[in-house]
Chain A
């Protein structure tokens, strides 16, 4: 009895610690007062102001666009890596391949961002492209560091599932490509969706790499939010937080659903 009391207390305190700050954010987003910390009364004023704030709306659209595109590209390339590592034996310089596909996971974002920026500048000096940085360069950078996350998920799933199904299909006369499109891909589809959702969220949330590779007309949402709250508080950001937290948590639940689906 005593140990189960300790157990419930630990779990309760842990969850409280994890959710308390999020609840505080949501609570203050309904504060009428312009001074964020002084409670004046319940109001939807800041939600209204948020939806009329063109800078934030524009940044939101840019972010969604970049996130959707880079998640799609990263998923295609990540699935290819996952598949290659598990199913294809002959990969030239395989350890180099593994190095390339896993190091972006452990490299600090700051170093990644700096290297991308210096790369784009050097590329421009050599071939005259990209002449300025913007949405395209953020997209390329996001694809590059999201690939690794997708590859890991796909690799894990392919290692899990029974190769016999593929071989049986082969014996029944399916060729290599047909097995891939009719058997393998449909089976790992939930993991592919999970990988896409993860890449989408990572891209949407990225501030550091985007700050390095951004240019005129490419202020993503995190860049705008950071510029607003770096030195102080902003009631509009509170309202934005509440909405964004909610949306992202829904995406997270979908991720769990798809990632789990395969295991059963």
Chain B
């Protein structure tokens, strides 16, 4: 009997906290997203009205408003493209690194792994700030380019989408490398030797042996980079310019600048539905599939 009480205490303390401070806030976002907006504080009407009898006062106007305006849809699309490109480059840089770390001898491997992840522990904001220093007009990169004679005058490297991609790839790279390493570490390196012995050249060995075996790592790493990048706010704000608007910025401004709470909530909730939900479902399906196929 005592055990039961104890188990309940363990299960329900965090349960209670998460329902109260995580689930209810999400429900409130949904509630406000279907409320009628108005001038005032708070800037929306209640969804339940009791004057003249009970009435439910909801609207999908906020969603219609968002999805009929290119300003909002465009920012969604920009964020998705940004996340795709950044994930691709993280993979391009992360894969060879993870592969060579996994094929090093065991002592070196552990040291390299810690070296790769340590920057991830230092402040995110400050690592982005570092790129602001590097990419300045009189920054270190421009000085190098000028001295090498590649350009005759400083290039505008900062405040555009390329700087944003640079910052994202830099800050998210460890998130790609870790799961890749985790899977590459597991597989038998003799397979590479075997495929060479069987006459496959390097390129064929890569595409026929190494790549298929690292698919789970690629999927895991790509998800870890893709999801947060879609909602990324700080990096475009620090390194980006006005050439491209992203989802995070639009959401921020809709709430803090336009003070349109129902609009911002609708944007947030659409974000959950469009971006997060498919990925969560994909992850569940994928883990079931890979369990079945024993990868």
B19 contact set on A, CB distance < 8 A: 100
- A residues 12-34 with Cβ under 8 Å of B? 14-15, 17-22, 24-25, 28
Query: Could you say which residues of chain A place their CB within 8 Å of the CB of B255?
Result: 114
Q: A80-B13, A205-B123, A222-B125 are in contact. Are A21 and B170 (CB under 8 A)?
A: yes
User: Given A107-B272, A108-B271, are A245 and B122 neighbors across the interface (CB < 8 Å)?
Assistant: yes
**Closest B residue by C-beta to A245:** B122
Stretch from A52-60, A188-196, A250-258 that touches the partner: A250-258
Provide the residues of chain B in CB contact with A115, threshold 8 Å.
25-26, 28-29, 268
Whether the Cβ atoms of B117 and A118 lie closer than 8 Å is no
**Chain A hits for B116, CB < 8 A:** 14-15, 18
State A94–B24 Cα separation when bound (angstroms). Answer: 18
Most A C-beta atoms less than 10 A away, residue of B28, B93, B138, B139: B28
Contact check, B103 vs A110: say whether CB atoms are below 8 A apart. no
Cβ of B134 and Cβ of A21 under 8 Å apart? yes
**B157 contacts the other chain (CB 8 A):** no
Q: Is B136 a contact of A37 with CB atoms below 8 Å?
A: yes
Establish whether residues B10 and A80, one from each chain, have CB atoms under 8 Å apart when the complex forms: yes
The verdict on A144 contacting B129 (CB below 8 Å), with A175-B2, A248-B121, A252-B118 known, is no
| B residues near A38, Cβ cutoff 8 Å | 138
Set A229, A251, A253: member contacting B132, Cβ < 8 A: A229
Q: A98 to chain B: closest CB distance in Å? A: 10
Per DSSP, chain B at the interface is: helix
A111's contact among B120, B129, B237, B272, by CB below 8 Å, is which? B272
- In this complex, how many residues of chain A approach chain B with their Cβ under 8 Å: the count is 79
Residues of B close to A106: CB separation below 8 A: 227, 276, 279-280
Nearest CB on B from A94, distance (A): 10
Instruction: Encode contact with B along A56-94: 1 for CB under 8 Å, 0 otherwise.
Output: 000000000000000000000110110110001011100
Q: CA of A7 to CA of B112 in the docked complex: distance in angstroms?
A: 13
Chain B residues with CB under 8 Å of A226's CB are 125, 234
Give every chain A residue within 8 A of B120 (Cβ-Cβ).
252
Other-chain contact of B123, A15, A151, A245 (Cβ < 8 Å)? A245
| A11: interface (CB < 8 Å) | yes
Interface residues of B in 246-286 (CB under 8 A from A): 248, 251-252, 255, 261, 264-265, 268, 271-272, 275-276, 279-280
Residues on the A chain within 8 Å of B136, using CB: 37, 233
B40 within 8 A of A: no
CB distance from B126 to the nearest CB of A (A): 4
Q: Which of A43-51, A119-127, A128-136, A161-169 contacts B (4 or more CB under 8 A)?
A: A119-127
**Neighbour of B251 across the interface among A14, A90, A114, CB < 8 A:** A114
B73 sits at the interface (CB 8 A): no
Does B125 contact A144, Cβ atoms closer than 8 Å?
no
> For residue B139, which residues in chain A have a CB less than 8 angstroms away from its CB?
37
Contact yes or no, B130 A77, CB < 8 A: no
With known contacts A38-B138, A225-B126, A107–B21 Cβ distance under 8 A = no
- Say yes or no: A253 contacts B114, CB within 8 Å: yes
* Chain A residues within an 8 Å CB radius of B23: 100
Q: How far is the CA of A121 from the CA of B32 in the complex (A)?
A: 12
Q: A91-B11, A225-B125 are in contact. Are A144 and B17 (CB under 8 A)?
A: yes
Min CB–CB distance B98 → chain A (angstroms): 9
Task: Given A121-B42, A140-B21, A176-B3, verify A80-B14 contact (CB < 8 Å).
Answer: yes
Nearest first, the 3 A-B pairs at minimum CB distance are A108-B231, A252-B121, A21-B130
17 residue pairs of the A-B complex, CB under 8 angstroms, read: A7-B104, A15-B116, A21-B133, A24-B133, A37-B138, A80-B13, A83-B10, A100-B19, A100-B23, A114-B29, A118-B265, A119-B25, A143-B21, A204-B123, A237-B126, A244-B122, A252-B117
